[in-house]
Structure 1
C-alpha cells in the first residue's frame, strides 16, 4: 500500500477539508477525552483548529487513512494563563464497517460530509494502515508536509506485521514483527524533541544502553517542524522494569542485584550524555530560580490538595536548605538527563542487560524546559520514588524492600560515576520532595486510591533531617 496524498494547513484549508473536519468534530469531541493519552481530562472539548491534514490512503478504497494534527480547544484551567490549546497527532482510519476485531478502535459513524455513511476509527489498531507507516519510513517517503526519514546504515525489512501495544501510556506504540517498535507522540509541539535528539546523540557516542533510532517522522507546518514518531529496535523478550519489580515482590524475591545493575546503567547513560552534549555550572542565581520553581509548585499543590497543608513548612525546608547551600557559594554541574526516569522507563533484556527508553521528559512541562541541562540527581530522585511506589504496591507494603533497592541503586551508580548520589543529600532530598509533591497532585486528580503512596513519602521527607534524604 503506497502512501498517497495531500497536506492541508490552516493557510491553505480547502472546502473539502473543512467539510471533513466538520463531520468528524462531534465524534472526536466524545472520543478524545476517553483516551489515556489525552491531557485535558475534566474539561469539555469546545472545538478544533487544523494544524495539518494529510490523506495517506484515499477513502475510495476499502480502507482510507488520514493523518491529522489538530489543536484542541478547551475552557482554561482556573487561574492559569490563556492557552492556545494542545496539538494532538491522530491517525483516522475509514471503512464501510468495522470487523469485530476492530470494535475497540471505533470512533463513530459519520453522518455527513465527504465520509458520510462510513465508519471512522483509531487506525493504529488496524495492521494494514500501521504497515503503511513502516513502508513510508523504509522508503523515506515525502507525503505533503510529512517527512519519513531513517538511518541509512540500518535496514528495514518489508513485510513486518504490525501490532498495537495496549499498555497504558501517554503516547502510542506499534511493534513490527519482533524487530522494531514505533512510538507515536500524541501531544506534540514544534521544536527539537528530546525523545529523538538524545538517543541520536547517545548513538553517536556508541552508548549501548539506549536503542539507537532507526527512523523517525517529522512534519513541516508553516515554517515549524514537529517530531511525530521514532522507530527503534525492539528488545524481544525484554521485561519492563516496573512489571519485573512487581513480579519479584509478589514472589518475595530480592531485587537488590537488579537495582544495582540499573544504577550502573543510569550512570553509563549520564556519562555518555556529558560527553555528547554541553554541561553548565549552576551558581546562586540559577539555584535561586530552581528553588523558586519548587516553592511555587509546592504552594500550588497545597492549594489543590489541602491534605498537604500540615506538611508545608517541613517540605519548604527541603527547598530552602538547597537555597542556603547556594548562598554559601556551593555550585553544581548540570547536563542533559533522562528527565522522567522511573522503573517503567527501563527494559531488562533476557540476557540481563538494562536499557533506558522514552527520553521525552515530563510531557506536561514546556519543551524548552525539558531540553535544559539539569542536575543529575533529578533522574536519581525519580528512580528512588519509583522503588517506593513499587514497594507500596505490594500487599502488604514492603518499605524495607524499597530501602534496600534505593541503597543498591545508588551504590551501582557510584561504581560507574565515581560518586554516590547520597553524598549530595540536600540536592537529592529537594528533588525527591519536588517529585513527591507532583505525585500527590497527580494521584489526587487521577488515582485517589494511590494517594497514600506519595503521602507516606511526604511524611518522611517533611520530617527528616534536611541533610539526610534517606
Structure 2
C-alpha cells in the first residue's frame, strides 16, 4: 500500500466522487478487507481524507493484478512490485464478487472492519458487467444476468460513507418486501462495521453497496414533462397517475415500517430544521432575507396546525426521480436531500414533504422553459399538472391534501428555500424560479393581521 499511496492520492483527487475538489488528499486507512479473485486480489479500503476542512470517509475498492487488465486503461491507478492496481468496480472479477457477497449473505472479517451481505432476492448469474458513466457521488455497476427474475441488475457502490442506515437501501428494501410495483426490485445490500473512536462504543456502521433491478432506456418524468410542456401537450393524465403512484408508495412504507404520531417534539424538530435552512439561505441569498419575516410567520402558524402522522418517505422527490415504464411510473433514488445529514434522512417525516417536492418540480418545468432562448409560457401547463397530481394523490390515499393547504405551503416554501441555496451556488441565472415561489407562497400563507 505504501508503494502505491502517492498514485492513489492523485487518482482520488481526479475522481468525480471526490468530495473536496481543489484539495490535496491526505489519506489515512482505517480499515480494509480482501477477497481472492483467483488470478487477482480485491482489496477494499476505508480511507479517511484529512485534507478536507472536515474529514471525509471513503470506500475505495481496488483490484491488484499480476498482469494488465485487458481494456482497463481508464481504470488504471498505478503499479508497484510488478502488480497492477485498478479501480475495483471497473474490473469484472470485483463486480461479480460484489454481487456474490450480497447474494450469498457472506460475512468477511477484515482489518478493523466487518462486512456482511444481505440477500432479498437472488438476482441470477452474472454474464458481464460495466460501469455506468456520468455519476458523481457514487459508482454504479450494470450487470447482464441470467437465471434470475430480471435481465439487468445495477449495484450502487457508495464512495462516501456515513454512520447509519442509508435510506436508499432500507426504503427500497421495505418497498420490495411490501410488493410495491412502483420501484425497481431490490436484490441485496452490503453493510460494514468499522472502528470509530469518536463514537460511543468505538464503532460505526453503514452501507457500502446495494443492488436492484436496472431499467435501461427509460425517460425520466422531467424529460417527459418538459417535452409535453414545450409542445403544449396535456399532461394531466400522466400527472394524475404519478400522484397515485406516490400515494401507493407512501401507503406501502407506512404499512411496512409503521407511522409515528406528530407530537410536540416531532413538530418542533421539523420546524427547527426549516428555520435553520432559512438562516443559511438568508446569509447566502439576500433576496430570501427580504422574505424571512413572512416565512417565519408561516412556520409559526404551521406549529399550531394539526399534523398528520409521520412515516418513512422518499425525501427528495421530484420529476427526475420518476421513470415512465411499461409498468407505469417507477420511483428511484431514495437517498433523501443531499444537504441533509444521513441520520436525518431516515427519520419519519410528513408525506406532505414529498408532495411539496413534486409540486415544486412542475413549477421548475415552467421556469426552465421561460429561460430558453425562445421562452415558452408554461405557467398554465404547470398549474394543471400540479392540480392533477394532487387529485391523483387524494384519489389513491384518501388524504385531503387541500384541506392541509397551509401546512403544504410551509413545506413547499422550505423546498423552494432549499432550491434557492442550490441555485445561488450552482445556477444563479435560475435563482428567480425558487424566489418567485417563495414570494408567492409566503404572501398567500402569511397569517392575517389582527
**1:66/1:91 contact within 8 Å kept:** yes
| 1:206 aligned counterpart, secondary structure | coil
Output one character per residue of 1:330-375: Cα deviation in whole Å (capped at 9) or x when no partner: 3432111111111222222124x11222222224322322222111
Q: Which residue of 2 aligns with 1:162?
A: 129
User: Which runs of structure 2 are paired with 1:271-350 in the superposition (5 Å)?
Assistant: 271-323=251-303, 325-326=304-305, 330-350=306-326
Is the alpha carbon distance of 1:250 and 1:53 closer, same or farther for their aligned partners in structure 2, counting shifts above 3 Å? farther
Per the alignment, do residues 422 and 48 of structure 1 end up closer, same or farther by CA in structure 2, a change over 3 Å counting?
farther
Decide whether aligned partners of structure 1 residues 20 and 455 sit closer, same or farther in structure 2, where only a CA change above 3 A counts.
farther
User: Structure 1: which 5+ residue stretches go unaligned?
Assistant: 1-16, 77-82
The within-5 A match list for 1:245-264 is 245-264=225-244
Shift of 1:231: 1.0
Alignment partner of 1:356 out of 313, 331, 337: 331
Residue 94 of structure 2: aligned partner: 129
Q: TM-score, normalised by structure 2?
A: 0.84
Distance 1:392-1:331 versus aligned 2 partners, 3 A rule: closer
Tell me by how many angstroms 1:285 deviates: 4.3
CA contact (8 A) 1:426 1:467 kept: no
Aligned counterparts of 2:211 and 2:257: Cα–Cα separation in 1: 22
Give the structure 1 partner of residue 6 of structure 2. Answer: 23
Aligned match of 2:116 in 147, 157, 160?
147
Q: Secondary structure at the match of 1:218?
A: strand
From 48, 54, 66, the equivalent of 2:43 is: 66
Contact 1:88 1:186 in 2 (8 A): yes
SS in 1 for 2:31: strand
The answer to whether residue 50 in structure 2 is matched with residue 86 in structure 1 is no
1:457 corresponds in structure 2 to 437
Contact kept? 1:264, 1:415, Cα under 8 Å: yes
Which string of whole-angstrom CA distances, capped at 9 and with x for unpartnered residues, describes residues 138-194 of structure 1? 44444443323323xx33332322122224453222221242111222222233332
1:11 aligns with none
**Structure 1 CA distance for aligned equivalents of residues 24 and 416 of structure 2:** 30
Give distance in 2, aligned partners of 1:418 and 1:273: 16
Distance 1:381 1:283 in 2: 21
**1:52 equivalenced with 2:31 (yes/no):** yes
SS state of the match for residue 229, structure 1? strand
1:381 aligned onto 2:356: yes
* 1:388–1:419 distance in 2 versus 1, CA, 3 Å: same
Q: Cα deviations across residues 209-240 of structure 1 (Å, max 9, x unaligned)?
A: 23332121122324543211111122354332
1:439 aligns with 2:419: yes
User: Unaligned 5+ residue runs, structure 2?
Assistant: 145-150, 196-202
* SS at structure 1 position matched to 2:215: coil
Residue 269 of structure 1, CA deviation: 1.1
Question: Once superposed, what is the RMSD of the aligned Cα atoms?
Answer: 2.9
CA change 1:119–1:305 in 2 (3 A) is farther
1:382 to 1:242, Cα distance in 2 relative to 1, 3 A: same
2:186 aligns to what SS in structure 1? coil
Q: Hey, what's the Cα distance between the residues in 2 that align with 1:338 and 1:124?
A: 27
Q: How many pairs align? A: 425
3-state SS of the aligned residue for 2:126? coil
Contact 2:295 2:446 in 1 (8 A): no
Task: Determine the C-alpha separation between the residues in 2 that align with 1:376 and 1:450.
Answer: 27
- Report 1:191-206 matches (<5 A): 191-206=164-179
Whole-Å separation in 1 of the counterparts to 2:228 and 2:93:
38
1:381 CA drift (Å)? 0.9
> Cα offset for 1:410?
0.6
Q: CA deviation at 1:428?
A: 0.9
Distance 1:386 1:321 in 2: 25
Change (3 A) 1:168 1:46: closer
Distance in 2 (alpha carbons) for counterparts of 1:252 and 1:105: 45
Q: Give the drift of 1:105.
A: 4.2
Structure 1: how far apart are the matches of 2:132 and 2:12?
24
Cα deviation 1:307-341 (Å, max 9, x = unaligned):
32223223323322213x34xxx343211111111
User: In 2, Cα distance between the equivalents of 1:104 and 1:307?
Assistant: 45
How far apart in 1 are the matches of 2:21 and 2:422? 12
